[in-house]
Chains A and B, each alone.
Chain A
């Protein structure tokens, strides 16, 4: 059962130090008449791998529990939600595999990194207008900041709502 994000404030402290995270992949089968891989190298020279359950990032990630106000390690389900976002926003080339082909061309599979992410915020302004802000970002920091700010606002404005969400 996934813990709903309303149960926590997404107060995230991150040191985004990407580590090599791409499993070595075999070269593509040679297709006569097409490009042939003549060399492969792991960018950054780090051949470390990570388990599938961990995000491809290193550093400290903590969440602040809205109920206790204390920092704690994210639960597995919280990791799952955050990691799925952080992975796509990773803009490091470290650990990716660069393939050089017989015709001199070069290709790199981005392994799900360098994605853009659309976010939305629905709220009411102080003037009473319905405010819907849908933005596109490539930054994990932006995602964290938006989630943290809206959670903090929700806490201060409506404790009852937050409490109700704890049961989700």
Chain B
């Protein structure tokens, strides 16, 4: 048995041991996860920048097509086309504040991935867990295609395709496909596909459950089949465009990008796209015939097609915006799928919040008014009425309300504030408010980024594995 296969079997067993209490077996889902020949086909790469520590350790791992930035330790793991983005990790001598605790950091925070399989997964942000402030760990975990592990230390977990766990420490959990969880800490939890849960104990609790059959049209997976659905087809149809940017080590720079904006060299930009000041476009983003106004951003695995973002728009990891016009300050959450059509545009008013994992799929023009919050599945005006609320109305909720398949308990004012604060923070760290002097962020700093590649063993017992490597300045 080759080393790659041994490693794969070892990790799958470890994940299963952790999930035995949930009676969840990952083997049927993991069987066809990564064809071994793919593991030699793609090189791995890492960023070098004066703004973040260069401190990478790879040991007994396979890293095909994956990207690393900052301080990362990868041990006994199998990564495939994943982004391990350590540009928001905490730094030595910083003080991490959590409730009434002030925790001084004695070392730079590290992303430590151990005994895990990550497939097309984004790892970003930092550990929000005061018990592990200097180590953002991911161990004994299997994350499937397009999942996001965002500020979420994980031990013994499974994330289905397009699942996101955000600012939450998770242990022994199975997160269903297209589920979004932000709950601080979760243990031994198994969520059904399409569960959207945002919980801040004592403040608010939001829960929406997708209708099972309707969600299956967009994202589905079963032990017998590879994952399928409209979302997979949508990405598959555009796969070739990424081939060119990954095939060439040096691509010609696109000259029309303003000095204050950043376009990653592993993003796809097709005509006629206009990028204005303070815009951030991350790797694996796809832009086509669109305008990104001042301070807008497109994060990893985003698709923005035939759309106009007026400015200060957050397009979070994995969000897709097609045939849409977004006024200023519109937020589109993780993995949302806004699917307008050429004859039926989607128009979203100023300051509206499209919650993470929202699907808007329309055949007639749809107008979302300014300052609204939208969630769940929206295919027409009737579903919009059922799955949205004016922010002005939400801030008045003092105890609870339910609407359609959504439940909310707590104070609406705190829920809105949490979102608004976070949106402002994202724009700030991305450099959207840069004035030529102050408020510099990723959009400006990423200009100082260069990339190096590393290659796997191509032959023999170690085929597909990478040599043990330490990379430091």
Partners in one complex: no
